[in-house]
Structures are given as C-alpha cells and as structure tokens.
A and B are shown apart, each in its own frame.
Chain A
C-alpha cells in the first residue's frame, strides 16, 4: 500500500483550519455544487441529494480527521490509498465552499495561479485564499503520488 506523509508547519496551517472547519460546517447540510436532477420527481431528487450529501459529509470528515491531536503533536499528515479518494473529494468540496463563501471577488485567472503574491489578495480574504490554495496543494500531492490511474499512464 502506497503511503505519503506530508510534513507541515503547524503555526502556518492552524489558522487555515479555522476557515476549513467553518466551510465544513457550512457544508454539513448543503452540497458544495447544487445537484442537477435528471428526473422531475421530488422523492427521487431527495434521495439523490441525501446520498450525495452523506458521501460529501463522510469525505469532509475524513479530511478534518487528518488535523486532529496527532497533527498538532507531530506536524504531519498521512495519506494512503485507503483514504486518498475521500480526501480528494473532500478537498474539492471544501475548495468550492471556500470560493463560494469568501473568494467570489477574486478574478478566475488569479485563482488558477499557483504562486500568487500575498499583496495581490485583499487582507480580509488572505486566510481563506491560503486555505483554498493549501487544499489545492494537498490534492496535487495525492494526484501525483497516489492516483492509481496516473500510475497506468
């Protein structure tokens, strides 16, 4: 089983966790992306939504679980092929929520850049932007090191 351990700076990551936890709270009863339904059937659509929501909540919990007491003791998170899918989806859901809640005013091209200078981002959204970027980097590491489809390419 492949396993990646990521060493992080606790004091740099801790403030980002406040944003990530708030985004996770916001997502508890809401889908990150509004579902589009193939049927015009209320009961079916409710089932569709509740199953997506259950999966989303499970993925987000898995991600938050990385940043428990062990992280604050050791300063590292461990990702393996058992939790990588959940973490990829959890990062995606949280990034969408952070964008929706805090970063709507930031131009799309800036959001896609990897090395944005801090002064390009307004003070009040620097921490959410850093959380957004941090989750992107976690996803990138997973995709580079643990994506089984990449290994076949």
Chain B
C-alpha cells in the first residue's frame, strides 16, 4: 500500500442513472478502539479538513455514535468510504434523505 496516497475505490461507475443522480452521504460510526487523535488525523488526511472541523466531527462520532462527514456524488462518497476503511474506521455510504 502507498504511504500517503488514497487508493481509488475499486468501483467502476456503473450505478444506474437514477442512483447516480441522488446525493449520497459518507457517515462514520463510533468504534471502541481508535484513539481520538488518530480519528482526527484520518479525517484531516482523507477529507482535507482543518483541525477544528476534524475535531468537531470526531467529537460528534464519539458522543453521538455517528457523524455525516460529506455528501455529494455516489462515486466520490464510495471513494471516501474506501479510504476511511483503509484506515480501519467504520464508514458507510447512505443516500441523503429526501427534503
């Protein structure tokens, strides 16, 4: 594995057009192992967040059990989730609820 690069998701863009058109969320769930400073570091690396924003999400994960990190295209959401799983964070892609 590369040292700092984020691997591309293995997914080829093949979701149906109806799915591609939706907005998708990247959600990180709490886990009992990874230390807080590790989670902050991973969020900064993967999303390019500033320290303060990464810390806010980390606390949300810790206190509420989950945090929505990003929303946008399905393909980019999958790439983020793959990168987070490489760092052993529990991350899922979810469709954004309709307004």
Contact = CB atoms under 8 A, between A and B. Distances in A.
Interface residues of A, number: 41
B11 A93 contact: no
Nearest to A45: B10
Interface in A54-101: 54-56, 58-59, 82-86, 88-89, 92-93, 95-96, 99
Interface stretch (A3-11, A13-21, A35-43, A116-124): A35-43
A127 interface: no
Contacts of A33: 31, 85, 88-90
A93 B1 contact: no
Interface of A: 32-33, 35-36, 38-39, 41, 44, 47-48, 51-52, 54-56, 58-59, 82-86, 88-89, 92-93, 95-96, 99, 108, 111-112, 136, 139-140, 143, 147, 149-150, 152-153
